[in-house]
Amino acid sequence: MNRVERTRKAIIESPQAANARLSMSDISQASETGNSVTRYLLEQLRRHPKRVVFTEGEDVRVIEAAARLVAAEAVAPILLGNKEKIRTIAAENSISLKFVHIIDPPLSTDFGLFCQRVENMARYRTMQIGNPAEIVARPHYFGALMVQY
């Protein structure tokens, strides 16, 4: 028996491991009610709602999370991505987009400003970039620029 197997066996046979084992019902119940830290954070967010930018707005899991946060009145979510694609995904999955702001980076009013900012940053750092619009059109970069400025 090698060291890894001995360690695994010792962990499994320890009395603490017996106390730490949870059934699936315990886990699902804990995730539904949330732990005290989650409840505390949600209460703080309800008192002082924040804007949250989700750069992967075309992912159904992100859309669902944004809708849940709106329902909990915790944040004002902003989804980045193609507006039509996000609306289609939400409709297919019966997700409400009420109070969810959607921004399509290339069509945003701040797109030109962010392109100039990236160009100035690149000059300052002596980097050679081809077209700043290609960089700013990516939701991750656009989201970082939104939060920064």
CB of 95 closer than 8 Å to CB of 69: no
Q: What is the DSSP string of 23-51?
A: -HHHHHHHHHH--HHHHHHHHHHHHS-EE
Which residue in 107, 118, 99 sits closest to 81, CA to CA? 107
Contact 49/76 with Cβ under 8 angstroms? yes
Residues of the chain with CATH 3.40.50.10950: 33-103
> What CATH number does domain 33-103 carry, 3.40.718.10, 3.40.50.150, 3.40.50.300, 3.40.50.10950?
3.40.50.10950
- Digit-by-digit pLDDT tens for the chain (149 residues) are 676 566 666 666 655 544 444 443 444 444 455 678 888 888 888 888 889 999 999 999 999 999 999 998 889 999 999 999 999 999 999 999 999 999 999 999 999 999 989 888 866 566 677 788 888 999 999 999 988 87
